[in-house]
Structure 1
Amino acid sequence: MHTNPSVSTERLLRLPDVEAMTGLRRSALYAAMKEGKFPPCVKLGARAAAWPESEVQAGFPPASVRREGAPNERRPA
């Protein structure tokens, strides 16, 4: 069996999965991409985009980690 080294078996995450992993909504993700703070998406078609799972994991801490140390988090008085 021949394998093609240029074909990746990387899992691609669609927007709802990326939102769940990062805790960010669509507009915040695209703003972070524009600022170079989040990995760019891969266009799958005219109306579809996805992110390689490893890049999302490496480029942004999980939402639960960010919430624990969020300096601007409002706490009830």
Structure 2
Amino acid sequence: MAYKVNRLPAVKDKTGLSRSSIYLRMSKGEFPQSISLGDRAVGWLEADIEKWLEDKIAASRKAGGNHE
């Protein structure tokens, strides 16, 4: 299976979250965990980010937050 890994700038662009928000949500278990790519590099599996976004969209629409 092929995995696509997104680095922080791509994750920030996709989610609209800042670096600090991403790491805060990770620490609270509210955002996908990063994976180590080496000594000083981390990334996020694209599938995990896509699932998180889908869940956020679904929750928003369920709560009546449909802004179309």
TM-score after normalising by structure 2: 0.75
- Percent identity over the alignment is 37
Structure 1 unpaired stretches of 5+ = 1-7, 70-77
Residue matched to 1:14: 7
1:25 CA drift (Å)? 1.0
Q: Spell out, residue by residue over 1:2-61, the C-alpha distance to the aligned partner (whole angstroms, 9 max, x if none).
A: xxxxxx411000000000000011110000000000000001111100000010010135
- In structure 2, what is the Cα distance between the partners aligned to 1:25 and 1:45? 23
Higher fraction of helix? 2
Q: Count matched residues.
A: 57
Structure 2 unpaired stretches of 5+ = none
Larger Rg: 1
- Name the Cα RMSD after superposition: 1.6
After the TM superposition, which segments of 4 or more aligned residues of structure 1 sit over 2 Å from their partners?
none
- In structure 2, what is the Cα distance between the partners aligned to 1:28 and 1:42? 17
TM-score after normalising by structure 1: 0.67
1:38–1:60 contact (8 Å) kept in structure 2: no
